[in-house]
Copies of this chain bind each other. A is one copy, B any other.
């Protein structure tokens, strides 16, 4: 039983809250997408996902993918081929891409927000279009005209799919260690090496698969500065099979319908993307969008799990209200929604999921501004926010998503642990999001080690200015005080934590490593508080009995009273320094 309904009303509310009409629609190319048109697009996409992909989800998880060693082929679950063909024909993979490459040219924020629905309906399926989109971004930004011409039309149309081939058996986080090599061969290269964890590295959904591969040229310096990026198609011109073969698929806790492949490059022909030895630049273009998407995985599966838990709770009667006046007369037991702890779990999941969705919406809109605005200052400001908050969305979105799916399971008791409901699959599927596209700690190091120092602290100062402006704009409104007060206190604490951590880091770099994960979580909670104040502000002038206002206010109240206090715990852990963590003898672990 999967009662999932796409959160279209919340998506529309968020687009309005962050001023879609004023910020996005005026951008070059976006003029035709007014809010109604935009929501019609998302609505149609959502309906298709619910109709076609959702019913496949549980069965595909159960069936999994099948590797055929004799042919190196991978067979996807029943129904995936037909679903993919329909997805392609509907143009759902090409929404945000420029019309000159066959895309619809819609604002990116729409496809980013719509991807939540795709993931909620079928996370395994969602991974192939997600990677293809990343490859398109990388080729648009760094590919030669020739590569763009030959690859983009087929990738944008969805006839071909893309992969991201970074990891090798001995290196994932530390790509500087990779050993796949690229030897010159006429105007292009031959690649040799083994890549692991390649999502949809081999499958039967498209005519061709184009791998974006990190490898070393013969004259490459060691380490991360000696890596170049190549595209390696499975089939070359004229249908010649390029020697890049799947060597097997991994058996994983979840995402069973998404093939995770070992890929062997046996002198496979490839073409350089971007400059030699500058491969990480192209790869980061692909990865930043991917990281945003991984954070959305947490939002998507938490939303779907919470909806399932709520549907279960509405039906289930067990025990009696602790308040006799709330006990249902004539019934042997009350609905479990009377139990405060059931409400606590649902509100924990809902308040963080809606906060994170708001954060994703805001950053997704800044993503459009960063890429499309004609105002240089607006582009720079948007770019700073995207850079600063992407690691937070990836890390906190996936961690909180995992915890929220677990809360939803707890509401359901034993039922949630069985395959009669989709929540156990969601819990298995969501867990990988904390690991891939850079583990959550890698995100934390990116935040503390790269984003905070950037431009002398410019990114953080810019975000702090947004918070201050928001607080000021609410200063005269007593109704906002219960939300603005905690935001003010916790953003002040975050500023102190940031300064103290910066000072400590100058003395001892290991402090950064010891504190980064806790710091990211503290930062994330303050960011969600900011997003919640914006949401509350957007509804506060509605009539008091307005349902949207009442719903947002009760959810926000819970966030500020029960979730935001976690920020202080993380601050305390940061303040504890590195001693207890680092000054140990690992042989005694």
Contact = CB atoms under 8 A, between A and B. Distances in A.
Contacts of A420: 250-251
Given A337-B586, A561-B576, A435 B414 contact: yes
A209 interface: no
A250 to B, nearest CB: 5
Contacts of A340: 510, 513-514, 578, 581-582
B565 A569 contact: yes
A34 interface: no
A560 to B, nearest CB: 8
A398 B544 CA distance: 43
A413 B172 contact: yes
Interface in A191-209: 197
B339 A513 contact: yes
Contact of A418 (B177, B251, B562, B568): B251
A174 B269 CA distance: 65
A253 interface: yes
Interface stretch (A101-109, A233-241, A386-394, A436-444): A436-444
Given A174-B318, A333-B174, A568-B569, A343 B418 contact: no
A48 interface: no
B410 A435 contact: yes
Nearest to A569: B569
Interface in A545-589: 547, 550-551, 554, 557-558, 561-562, 565-566, 568-569, 572-573, 576, 578-586, 588-589
Contacts of A322: 509-510, 512-513
A539 interface: no
A582 B344 CA distance: 8
A424 interface: yes
A323 B578 CA distance: 12
B585 A562 contact: no
Interface in A396-429: 402, 406, 409-410, 413-414, 416-420, 424, 427-428
A562 B554 contact: no
Interface in A499-554: 508-510, 512-514, 516-517, 547, 550-551, 554
Q: How large is the interface on A (under 10, 10 to 19, 20 to 34, 35 or more residues)?
A: 35 or more
A167 B565 CA distance: 38
A333 B168 CA distance: 14
A444 B197 contact: no
Contact of A585 (B550, B558, B580): B550
A251 B420 CA distance: 8
Contacts of A184: none
Contacts of A253: 417-419, 424, 427-428
A156 B497 CA distance: 59
A350 B589 contact: yes
Given A332-B177, A585-B554, A588-B551, A424 B343 contact: no
Contact of A344 (B417, B517, B565): B517
A264 B374 CA distance: 71
A99 interface: no
Contact of A588 (B436, B550, B582): B550
A347 interface: yes
Interface string A335-350: 0010111011011001
Given A197-B414, A589-B310, A344 B581 contact: yes
Among the interface residues A424, A588, A589, which one has the most CB atoms of the partner chain B within 10 A? A589
A565 B575 CA distance: 12
Contacts of A318: 171-174, 177
A434 interface: yes
A156 B61 CA distance: 42
A413 B435 contact: yes
A296 interface: no
Interface in A170-184: 170-174, 176-177
Given A253-B427, A322-B512, A514-B344, A580 B562 contact: yes
A90 to B, nearest CB: 32
Nearest to A348: B581
A410 B440 contact: yes
Contact of A252 (B419, B551, B576, B585): B419
B409 A431 contact: yes
A222 interface: yes
Contacts of A419: 251-253
A358 B340 CA distance: 32
Given A435-B410, A554-B584, A588-B551, A514 B566 contact: no
A413 B431 contact: no
A318 B441 CA distance: 13
Interface string A309-328: 01000000111111100000
A578 B580 CA distance: 36
A253 B517 CA distance: 29
A317 B367 CA distance: 35
Which 3 A-B pairs rank lowest in CB-CB distance, beginning with the nearest? A253-B424, A551-B588, A340-B514
26 contacts: A171-B318, A171-B333, A174-B317, A176-B333, A177-B317, A177-B333, A197-B414, A250-B418, A251-B418, A322-B509, A339-B513, A340-B514, A340-B582, A341-B516, A344-B514, A409-B431, A409-B435, A410-B439, A417-B435, A428-B428, A554-B583, A554-B588, A558-B581, A562-B576, A566-B569, A568-B568
Given A171-B318, A343-B581, A350-B589, 8 more contacts: A176-B332, A177-B318, A177-B333, A252-B424, A322-B510, A343-B586, A550-B585, A554-B580
